[in-house]
Each structure stands twice: as structure tokens, then as C-alpha cells.
Structure 1
Amino acid sequence: MQVMDDADDLRRGALRLNDRAPGFTARSTAGDISLSSYRGRWVLFFSHPADFTAVCTSEFLAFAKAEERFRRLNCDLLGLSVDSLYAHVAWLQDIERNFGVRVGFPLIEDSSMVIAKAYGMLDSTSASSATVRATYIIDPQGIIRAIVWYPMTVGRSVDELLRLVEALQVSETEGALTPEGWQPGCALVEPAAQTLETARQAEPGHAWYYRERRP
């Protein structure tokens, strides 16, 4: 069962930053779930090409081991693929049996590709999920704040996704920007000066357009 909460969401196609995340209700390994039930929390919603595949297994092992770190950021994990619910259950059981890792977050069944197409994970005419390895970070108001795509042959970096979630949160709460390679506890940068007077206030020997804010 995959039901979009709004018919307009189904017709939207590829999403962009700051779009509202299309709502849905679907079957998962944790029972029937609705995206709307996650309001008030951040969500890392990610898809994978297929169960019982090497790269996807490596990702699920990493996500499962990092789940508590995401929770400390008020962020829930939510996976999806076009495989059946029964395939999902068998695969997660096999992961636990072979690797000793229990996957605690829900894995959604999307065998009709309704959700994948609504999110633009698949071309509207596609009959295959082979190119799907997409990640959407959704904020507590249901707005998409980041979109990350990887090809089938390359696994995602869970550490980078953790950094991305925290960077989004810190940037929002501090009203500042996170520079290249930013890590928690490192300096932020101020938004570029918008007036000549503000630019003149930069410290001598420092660029007005790059002003660090120390933690």
C-alpha cells in the first residue's frame, strides 16, 4: 500500500530545495506509517536500488550503527525501495543473522513506485529502480532542506550525512553559515556584508566577505 496524501504531490516530479516533502502513507517493516507522523522531527529519507545487494547492505549496516547518533540530532531514519515488504523483512533478518546488526528504522515498500516517482527518484516512464540512490533531509515543518544523489555503484557516506544534518541545524539556530568541511565545534562564518558600512567593520587584514564566528 502506497498512498500519496495529496494528489498534486504525485504530479510534481523532481523536487527542489525548500519544496514541501510529498506526504504519503505506506506499508513498512515497522507497520503502516505516514510521513506526517514525523512532523516536529528531522527526517533523513533515503532510497536504495534493491534488497540483497552489496552496496545497499553496506549502507544499511552503517545507518543502523549510526541510528542513535541521528536520534541525538532529533532526526529519524526512513528507508525505501521498490522491493516488496516480504523481501524487506527477509533481507533485514538476513543482515541481522549474518552481520549481527539489527536495523531498527522502518524500510518502506514502494513496489508500485508511487512514492519514488512523486519524489522524482525515478523518471515518470521508468519501469526500473536501478538508478535510485537518493537522500532527502526533511526539517520538522516538512520542508526539504537537502537533496543528495549517488550513482548505483557508489555508496553514501553516513558520516557526511550526519554532518549535513547537524550543519543545517546549527546554521538555522545560529543564523550563520558552515564553511567547507565544517565539523561540530568549529568556527562558523557570517553571512556576507550587505552594506558598505558593515563591510567597513571587518577587522583589519580580514576580508569583509569572509568573517569567522568563533564558537
Structure 2
Amino acid sequence: MSTLRLGDTAPDFEQDSSKGRIKFHEYLGDSWGVLFSHPADFTPVCTTELGYTSKLAQEFAKRNVKVLALSVDEAASHQKWIGDINETQNTTVDFPILADADRKVSTLYDMIHPNASATATVRSVFVIDPAKKVRLTITYPASTGRNFDEILRVIDSLQLTDQYSVATPVNWKDGEDVIILPSIQDPEVIKSKFPKGHTVVKPYLRTTPQPNK
């Protein structure tokens, strides 16, 4: 399958996991989703990633996000690995890890890059909205651990910009000023949409306090 692009419908699938059979779209329901792949079980970088993601459980929950990891090993191997993660990272992994031994999901989501490794999945991340549309894709090399604070930041931005006529600037974090979309030019519309006021830096660059704070 060709690479998934932003705005594409995330392919549905049914696959075994550390928590039993998962039907992906059914699992997500009306939630946002983060699907992220790992090269293999019992690997050091993945162990730290899954541990940290587990510690962010409340952060994902308050954003209405369900997390789903993937590794190409069997579910029984995942269970043993989760024991190691819980022990070494001082946490309790409570989200499913897909057991993608047949590479079905890895192939659907183009997670195996043959020039990097013929068998292991790269560190792919997909953020999927409640309409099952792909809203973010990030691919890291196997040697580099991901920044899950950044993934939360992007979800904050997506959820904010879906609701209001704004974009978020460089390095934006929740609570900071945002940018009014250039498509909004009518002063009365600006006044009604952004009652906290706004600053004109340039005609195309106008900032306003975050609308939902």
C-alpha cells in the first residue's frame, strides 16, 4: 500500500494484542487515537517509550485519546515485555500492544522501510481523529526515541484549531497566544470571534490569546 497521507482515512484492521483481539475503528469509537510502532519487544529505546507513554495515561485521557502500540512479536512475548517495562520504568502499562507477527498492520500503515530494515518496523506515529482521518504522521529512525510531549502538543493544537479559526505558531504550548487565520479579514468577524482582542504584527500575522482559556 502507498504511504498514508494527512486527511486519508486510517485503514481499519483486526489484530491480536496484549489485551486480546482489537478491531481498530471499533476500539477508537468516538475518541482520538495514537497508533505507534516499535521495532521489536525487549529493545531498550522502546522500553523507555512505552513506560513514558504509560505515565501520560491521564494526559491522553483528558484529551479523549486512546493509545495503541504495535510490535511484530507475539502477544505472549508482549506480556513478558510489559513486566520488564513496569519494573524498569516504574509504571503500569495499561494500553494494548498489537501483536503484528504477520505484518498485516505494519504493511497497511507502511511501517516497514526496507532500506532501513527488512523486518523491523520503524518508529512511526499516527494521530487519528474521531472521524478516523489521519491528522499527523511522524517517522523516527529505530535508534531515536520519540518525544511524546511533542505528540501531546500536536494533539492540543489539532483539537484547538479544529474548534477555532486559528493556527498555532512555532513551539506553541497550550495556554500561549495563537495566530488568527489569514482567511479572516472582516474586522467585525474578528471582533466577535476573538473578544479578548488581537495584535497586528503584520497584516498576515495577527495574534490573539488562546480562545478557550
TM range (shorter): 0.7 to 0.9
What code does the residue aligned with 2:68 have? Answer: L
Q: Deviations over 1:26-77 (max 9, x none)?
A: 1111111111111310001100111111111110111010111111000011
CA-atom RMSD, angstroms?
2.1
Residue in structure 1 matched with residue 147 of structure 2 by the alignment = 157
Q: Name which of 20, 44, 48 aligns with 1:31.
A: 20
Q: Deviations over 1:165-208 (max 9, x none)?
A: 1111001111210111111111110112477x77xx9x896301
Asked if structure 1 preserves the Cα contact closer than 8 Å seen for 2:31 and 2:66, the reply is yes
Q: 1:106 to 1:167 in 2, by over 3 A?
A: same
Give % identity: 33
Asked if structure 1 preserves the Cα contact closer than 8 Å seen for 2:199 and 2:207, the reply is no
Residue in structure 1 matched with residue 6 of structure 2 by the alignment = 17
Alignment of 1:1-215 (within 5 A): 12-37=1-26, 38-123=28-113, 127-129=118-120, 131-193=121-183, 206-215=201-210
Unaligned runs of 5+ in 1: 1-11
Measured after TM superposition, the shift of residue 13 of structure 1 is: 2.5
3-state SS, counterpart of residue 45 of structure 1: strand
Output the TM-score relative to the length of structure 2.
0.86
Output the TM-score relative to the length of structure 1.
0.86
Asked if structure 2 preserves the Cα contact closer than 8 Å seen for 1:39 and 1:142, the reply is no
Asked if structure 1 preserves the Cα contact closer than 8 Å seen for 2:48 and 2:89, the reply is no
3-state SS, counterpart of residue 111 of structure 1: coil
What is the distance in 2 between the residues matched to 1:127 and 1:155? 20
What code does the residue aligned with 2:140 have? Answer: Y
Asked if structure 1 preserves the Cα contact closer than 8 Å seen for 2:201 and 2:207, the reply is no
